[in-house]
Structure 1
């Protein structure tokens, strides 16, 4: 960080922080997250302006010979990073089913803050490296993540007629990989012979996948009157 900066340097730092924050924030905006493009831009610019403010008062830092007061200009960007914790925490939500949302958005805001501090300090190579790594993480690795087999929970409910497959036949299908039965429930109507089977399953599958092919084949077997799949 240089001791004295001119107007052109200020503009370059501002535009660098603005453009990179806009691109990273666009990913959150397209997915309608809690903190979208404008929020991300404001966070990045706030960090950039804080660092440029620290740069302006840098020549006045230190301790005068006749004074006990010492100025540490680096406390200003440090306070920005600390305050980001509150904004990031506000972006994280926990649903009633225990699923947590907003962690990536909170991490993006914190990351953009650090990137803004780099551009505000005139560290263009470091800020550019942060921008590229952010793009790779948010945009490119997202496509890789879709093909990763995640552990997922599901609930299967079957209504079987008297002539439908037996419980052992259904279990034989659900005990093969990638499925694993965690809990099961059976209800039988003696008068009609109809049976209700409920299974809580855990299986490995890609993110966003719908009804597994094996469950579709199971639904087509004769004697199965109804199949419900919750995931």
Structure 2
């Protein structure tokens, strides 16, 4: 059989393989940067979207000759566009004032659209969309970091012994490196390990504004040497633990 409502197994195979390639290229960038949805997730989304598009166009070809039957290739594709949002929402995470995963969620959504284009045989659009997405994720990401480096905020969590002047010493180290403290939250530990003089442990969550990564490194190194710090955690630098814990004095 031939006609607009029919496709050969060879062409169907090409479309699914092309969908896997397009989705894999975008997913590889997400995987390389250790995001929630990576290489395999994007491939599966793109292949699934292409398969649904193929099903929507060619899967009901046996009903073409039936009377009172109207073919609508967009009917299943529309459900993909709305339904993929649930998968994208699962990649979005919020930690305090920081929201992450929005770009990954958007990449999942656009990969679904690319899969639909490939499934429909809209190859130029699929290829161009894949290229633009890769440019956005690779090149524009670096450009955005340079453009917004003076406006970004970073969260740093520091556990300290609650001693007089501890917070002041930490704030001084940040100030010496030109790092602005936008906000700080203080939370006492529920089951703290007491220090040498029986001091309780306090968790400090800083929201910082800085332009230079080197200055942040110097600030964290200076803070770790103050003698009050138990641990420092930051998304920007790897977690480090300072050995300051000892049994309380008698």
**Does the alignment reach a TM-score above 0.5?**
yes
Q: Which residue in 1 is equivalent to 2:126?
A: 127
Which sits farther off after the overlay, 39-48 or 146-155? 146-155
Alpha-carbon contact 1:34-1:105 (below 8 Å) kept: yes
Structure 1 residue 212 corresponds to structure 2 residue 212 = no
Select 1:24's aligned residue among 21, 26, 40: 26
SS in 2 for 1:33: coil
Query: Which of these two proteins has the greater Rg computed from alpha carbons?
Result: 1
Larger RCO of the pair (alpha carbons < 8 Å, separation 6+): 1
Q: Which residue in 2 is equivalent to 1:138?
A: 137
Go from structure 1 to structure 2 and tell me whether the alpha carbon gap of 1:226 and 1:21 turns closer, same or farther (over 3 Å shift). same
Alpha-carbon contact 2:210-2:216 (below 8 Å) kept: no
Q: Which residue in 1 is equivalent to 2:75?
A: 75
Alpha-carbon contact 1:151-1:205 (below 8 Å) kept: no
Provide the rounded CA distance (Å) in 1 between the counterparts of 2:61 and 2:182.
67
- Following superposition, the deviation at residue 117 of structure 1 comes to 0.5
Q: What pairs up with 1:190-205 in 2 under 5 angstroms?
A: 202-205=208-211
Query: Which segments of 5 or more consecutive residues in structure 1 lack a partner in the other structure?
Result: 186-197
Go from structure 1 to structure 2 and tell me whether the alpha carbon gap of 1:81 and 1:61 turns closer, same or farther (over 3 Å shift). farther
TM-score (norm: length of structure 2): 0.62
Q: Which residue in 2 is equivalent to 1:189?
A: none
Alpha-carbon contact 2:27-2:43 (below 8 Å) kept: yes
Query: Which segments of 5 or more consecutive residues in structure 2 lack a partner in the other structure?
Result: 187-203, 235-250
Q: Which residue in 2 is equivalent to 1:84?
A: 84
SS in 2 for 1:91: coil
Alpha-carbon contact 1:92-1:106 (below 8 Å) kept: yes
Alpha-carbon contact 1:153-1:203 (below 8 Å) kept: no
- Following superposition, the deviation at residue 33 of structure 1 comes to 2.7
SS in 2 for 1:94: strand
Q: Which residue in 2 is equivalent to 1:103?
A: 102
Alpha-carbon contact 1:62-1:72 (below 8 Å) kept: no
Structure 1 residue 94 corresponds to structure 2 residue 112 = no
Go from structure 1 to structure 2 and tell me whether the alpha carbon gap of 1:61 and 1:177 turns closer, same or farther (over 3 Å shift). farther
Q: What pairs up with 1:178-189 in 2 under 5 angstroms?
A: 179=180
Provide the rounded CA distance (Å) in 1 between the counterparts of 2:205 and 2:42.
43
- Following superposition, the deviation at residue 39 of structure 1 comes to 1.5
Go from structure 1 to structure 2 and tell me whether the alpha carbon gap of 1:230 and 1:91 turns closer, same or farther (over 3 Å shift). closer
Provide the rounded CA distance (Å) in 2 between the counterparts of 1:21 and 1:217.
41
Q: Which residue in 2 is equivalent to 1:193?
A: none
Go from structure 1 to structure 2 and tell me whether the alpha carbon gap of 1:101 and 1:225 turns closer, same or farther (over 3 Å shift). closer
- Following superposition, the deviation at residue 120 of structure 1 comes to 0.7
TM-score (norm: length of structure 1): 0.66
